Amino acid sequence: MAVEERKALRPAKATLDYSLVPSIHHLSKSSALEMFGKGDLDRAKLVNMARLAQRRRDATERVNDPQAKRAKNHWSETNQATDDQTLEFPSHFQSQYFSSGGGAPTSSNSSKSSLSKIFDKYRDDPSSPDSVLMEGMAKYLGDIGVSIEDIGMLAVSEIVQSPTMGEMSREGFVEGWSVVNADSIDKQKSYMKNLVKSLPSPSSKEAFTKIYKYTFQIARSGNQKAIPLEMALAYWQLLFSSPSSPVRWKTDANPWLDWWSEFLESKWKKSVNKDMWTETLKFAQQCLEDESLSFWNEEASWPSVVDEFVEWVGEKRGKGGETEEMEVE
C-alpha cells in the first residue's frame, strides 16, 4: 500500500505535517513547542530523525526487510533473575549484553505472548499488523522512560533490531525483549534505566560500540551503502555529546566534535560509508586519549578523511592558537 494511502487510514489527531519539521540541528525547544505544542514535542523530534533516515517505506517492503529479522544468538549470557519492578544490569554483564555469538535462552510462550500484546498497544497503522511506526514508537519510548534526545533511543533500536529509525517489527520486539526476560513495560523501563545509567562507565565500551555500529544500519535508506552527511552529523552529535555517552568527544582544550562537524561541512561534503563511520569512533576514542594526535601518521591505515582532518586541525591550531602545536610524525 502506498504511503499516502496508509496515511489516510490514520485518525486525524495522530497526523503530523512532516513537511514542517525542520532539521534536528536547528530545532530549538521553544520553536518546537510553538510548532507542535508541548504534547507533541518528542514525537516531532523522532519524526525528524526518521525523516533524515528516509521517507516512510511501503508497509510490505518494511515487513519483509531482512534487517528486521532478529538474530536468535544475539547474546550469550542473558538469564537474569528479575521481578516485576527490578531488572538489574550489573557491570560485569555489560559486555555480554551486546555481544553476539551465543545461543539465546528459551523464552516461555506466555512471555512472548505478553510481549506480542504489548506490541499491539503501539501499532499505529491498521494495514501493518506487524509494524510499529513513528507515532507508536514515540509513545512507546515515553512509556519506558527513554528520551528521544539521548542514546537510550538508539539502544532500544538495537535491542528490538529496528529495521529503520523510529520503527519496530513484531518479531524484533518480541525476540529482543525475550532474551533479557523483560516481558512487561515495567521491566523494560527498569532495564533501560540501568542500561543508560551504566553506559558512561569505561567498562561499557563494548556496549556503546554495539549501539554505535547498529546506528549506521538504521540510518541507511534501503540497500544504500552510505548515509547522507547531514544525517551522520546528527547522529554523531547524539552519540558523542550525550551525558550518557562514554565517548564525549570534546575537552576543555579541544572542541573535537565541533571541529569534526565544521571540517566535514566545509571540506568533505560527501556521504559517509560504513568504514568511515566505524573508523570515526576509533579516531574519537584515540583523540581523547592523546590530544596531540601523535598516534596518527601518514603510513597508518586511517581513511583519507581522517588524514585530511588531522592536517586541517594542525592548520587551525596554528592560526587560532587554541592549543599548543600538535605533534605528528
Grid-cell match 513537511, residue found = 19
Together in a domain, 129 and 263: no
Together in a domain, 115 and 172: yes
Contact 228, 235 (CB under 8 A): no
Question: Where is the domain boundary, 197, 213, 229?
Answer: 213
Together in a domain, 64 and 201: yes
Together in a domain, 102 and 189: yes
Together in a domain, 171 and 80: yes
Q: Which three cell numbers stand for residue 1?
A: 500500500
Together in a domain, 145 and 192: yes
- Number of structural domains the chain divides into: 2
- Cα–Cα distances (Å) from 271 to 48, 231, 263, 282, 305, in that order, read 19, 9, 14, 19, 11
Together in a domain, 194 and 287: no
Together in a domain, 194 and 264: no
**5 in a domain, yes or no?**
no
pLDDT on residue 49: 54
Task: Please tell me the distance from the alpha carbon of residue 19 to that of residue 27, in angstroms, as a whole number.
Answer: 14
Nearest-5° Cα angle at 249, 288 to 297? 50
Task: Please tell me the distance from the alpha carbon of residue 125 to that of residue 136, in angstroms, as a whole number.
Answer: 9
Contact 171, 130 (CB under 8 A): yes
Task: Please tell me the distance from the alpha carbon of residue 256 to that of residue 287, in angstroms, as a whole number.
Answer: 8
Contact 291, 253 (CB under 8 A): yes
pLDDT on residue 45: 53
Task: Please tell me the distance from the alpha carbon of residue 270 to that of residue 267, in angstroms, as a whole number.
Answer: 9
Task: Please tell me the distance from the alpha carbon of residue 139 to that of residue 283, in angstroms, as a whole number.
Answer: 36
Q: Which three cell numbers stand for residue 295?
A: 598516534
- Cα–Cα distances (Å) from 161 to 108, 190, 217, in that order, read 20, 19, 10
pLDDT on residue 92: 32
Instruction: Say how many Å lie between the first and final Cα of the chain, rounded.
Output: 58
Nearest-5° Cα angle at 288, 286 to 292? 80
Together in a domain, 184 and 312: no
**326 in a domain, yes or no?**
no
**95 in a domain, yes or no?**
yes
What is the domain extent for residue 134?
59-213
**28 in a domain, yes or no?**
no
Together in a domain, 295 and 158: no
pLDDT tens, N- to C-terminus, the chain (329 residues): 544 444 444 444 333 333 333 333 333 344 333 433 444 445 555 555 555 444 434 333 444 444 434 433 333 333 333 333 334 343 333 434 443 333 444 457 888 999 999 999 999 888 899 999 999 999 999 999 998 888 999 999 999 999 999 999 999 999 999 999 999 999 999 999 999 999 998 888 899 999 999 999 999 987 889 999 999 999 999 999 998 899 999 999 999 999 999 999 999 889 999 999 999 999 999 999 999 999 998 888 899 999 999 999 999 887 654 444 444 44
Task: Please tell me the distance from the alpha carbon of residue 234 to that of residue 73, in angstroms, as a whole number.
Answer: 31
Task: Please tell me the distance from the alpha carbon of residue 59 to that of residue 23, in angstroms, as a whole number.
Answer: 25
Backbone angles phi, psi at 49, to 5 degrees: -60, -40
Together in a domain, 65 and 188: yes
Task: Please tell me the distance from the alpha carbon of residue 240 to that of residue 224, in angstroms, as a whole number.
Answer: 24
